[in-house]
C-alpha cells in the first residue's frame, strides 16, 4: 500500500525559505574563512596617501581606491600605485593595482582572482628596492580544488616591468600562503 502525504503550499514555502536561509548561512561561513585570512594578509603597501570611497547602491563596482605616491624606479620622482577594490556582489570580488610612472604612463595593471574558499592570484609589494611578487594558480574543477601554483617576482628595469624569477609549487588552494614569507 502506498501512502501519499499532501503538503500544504504554506509548508512548502516555509521549507523553501528554511533551505535558502541554510544555504546563505553556509555561504557566509565560507566567506568568513576568507575574510578571516584576508585580515591577516598584507600586500606590503604602506599607508595610502589618498583614499576614495564610493557608494555602491547595487553592490557592484569599485568600492574604494587607495593611492600611494612612491618612487618605484629610483629616479627621484614620485610614481603612483592605485589599489582598488571591485565588488561584484559575489565571492568573486577582486583587488586591482594600477602602477603609473611619474609621467602618467601605465606601467602595469594587476588583478587578484578570488573565490569564497581560495584566492587564485595575489600580489605582495616590497619597497626599496621596489619588487612585486605574484602568486597564482589555475582554476581546478572549481575554485576550491588545489592546483599547482607559481610564484613570480618582477622588478622595474629601464621603466619596464620584467620577470626576474619564477618558481613552481605543489598544489595549493589559497596562494596567499605562498606570499606570507615574501
Per-residue pLDDT of the chain (182 residues; tens, 9 = 90+): 444 444 455 565 665 555 454 443 334 334 434 434 445 789 999 999 999 999 998 999 999 999 999 999 999 999 999 999 999 999 899 999 999 999 999 999 999 999 888 999 999 999 989 999 999 999 999 999 999 999 999 999 999 999 999 999 999 999 999 998 65
Residue 77 within any structural domain of the chain? yes
pTM above threshold 0.85? no
Q: How many domains would you assign to the chain?
A: 1
Residue 30 within any structural domain of the chain? no
Residue 100 within any structural domain of the chain? yes
pLDDT, one tens digit per residue, over 104-132 is 999 999 999 998 889 999 999 999 899 99
Residue 137 within any structural domain of the chain? yes
Residue 6 within any structural domain of the chain? no
Residue 85 CA to residue 106 CA, distance in Å, equals 18
- Asked if residues 87 and 96 have their Cβ atoms less than 8 Å apart, the reply is no
Residue 47 within any structural domain of the chain? yes
Residue 100 CA to residue 92 CA, distance in Å, equals 26
Cα torsion at 54, 136, 47, 77 (round to 10°)? Answer: -100
Residue 153 within any structural domain of the chain? yes
DSSP state of 104: S
Its domain, for residue 175, covers: 41-179
Taking CA atoms, 73 is separated from 68, 83, 90, in Å, by 14, 18, 37
Residue 69 within any structural domain of the chain? yes
Of the candidates 124, 114, 175, which has an alpha carbon nearest to the alpha carbon of residue 150? Answer: 175
Of the candidates 124, 121, 138, which has an alpha carbon nearest to the alpha carbon of residue 175? Answer: 121
The three three-digit cell numbers of residue 108, written as one number: 602595469
Residue 103 CA to residue 105 CA, distance in Å, equals 6
Amino acid at each position: 500500500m502506498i501512502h501519499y502525504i499532501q503538503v500544504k503550499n504554506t509548508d512548502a514555502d516555509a521549507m523553501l525559505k528554511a533551505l535558502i536561509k541554510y544555504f546563505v548561512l553556509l555561504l557566509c561561513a565560507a566567506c568568513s574563512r576568507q575574510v578571516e585570512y584576508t585580515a591577516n594578509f598584507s600586500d606590503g603597501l604602506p599607508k595610502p596617501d589618498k583614499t576614495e570611497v564610493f557608494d555602491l547602491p547595487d553592490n557592484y563596482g569599485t568600492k574604494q581606491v587607495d593611492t600611494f605616491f612612491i618612487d618605484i624606479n629610483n629616479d627621484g620622482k614620485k610614481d603612483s600605485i592605485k589599489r582598488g577594490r571591485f565588488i561584484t556582489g559575489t565571492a568573486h570580488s577582486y583587488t586591482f593595482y594600477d602602477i603609473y610612472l611619474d609621467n602618467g604612463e601605465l606601467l602595469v595593471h594587476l588583478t587578484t582572482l578570488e573565490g569564497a574558499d581560495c584566492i587564485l592570484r595575489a600580489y605582495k609589494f616590497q619597497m626599496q628596492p621596489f619588487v612585486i611578487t605574484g602568486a597564482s594558480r589555475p582554476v581546478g574543477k572549481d575554485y576550491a580544488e588545489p592546483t599547482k601554483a607559481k610564484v613570480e617576482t618582477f622588478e622595474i628595469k629601464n621603466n619596464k616591468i620584467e620577470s626576474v624569477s619564477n618558481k613552481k609549487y605543489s598544489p595549493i588552494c589559497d596562494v596567499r600562503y605562498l606570499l606570507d614569507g615574501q
